[in-house]
């Protein structure tokens, strides 16, 4: 729980401060292979997480939708390259990752 709160606090603090200090990729993303296709601020194979955060900013259902997308994978929202499911990710890790991503919205 501390890591969820810490990740969100760091992301929110940097966003509010307008800081140019780089935000580190969360451990859960590295552990589950997310960093192979995503970065925080640049499109790689998949969209930059800042772009995802901006797209879903203010959407009350965003956290649940992104959680499902992480677990089940998908295709078509950001292009034709499919995102594979993260079958081994835990519910706690999904929540941590979604909180981090949505916290990147400016």
Where is pLDDT greater, at 19 or 101?
A: 101
Prediction pTM value: 0.77
Number of domains in the chain: 1
- Determine how many CB atoms are found less than 10 A away from the CB of residue 92: 12
Q: How far apart are CA 16 and CA 13, in angstroms?
A: 5
Mean pLDDT of 9-20: 44
Structure-token pair, residue 44? 């790689």
pLDDT at residue 11, as a whole number: 46
CATH code for position 94: 1.10.760.10
Owning domain of residue 72: 2-102
- Residue 83 token pair: 């995102």
Closest listed residue to residue 26, CA positions, set 100, 88, 104: 100
Asked if residue 39 lies in contact with residue 48, where contact means CB atoms within 8 angstroms, the answer is yes
Per-residue pLDDT reduced to its tens digit, 37-69? 999 999 999 999 999 999 999 999 999 999 999
């Amino acid at each position: 729980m501390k890591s969820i709160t810490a990740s969100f606090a760091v992301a929110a603090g940097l966003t509010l401060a307008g800081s140019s200090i780089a935000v580190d990729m969360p451990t859960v993303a590295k552990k589950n292979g997310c960093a192979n296709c995503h970065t925080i601020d640049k499109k790689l194979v998949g969209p930059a997480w800042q772009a995802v955060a901006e797209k879903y900013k203010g959407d009350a259902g965003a956290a649940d939708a992104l959680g499902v997308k992480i677990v089940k994978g998908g295709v078509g929202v950001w292009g034709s390259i499919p995102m594979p499911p993260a079958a081994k990710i835990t519910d706690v890790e999904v929540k941590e990752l979604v909180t981090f991503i949505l916290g990147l919205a400016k």
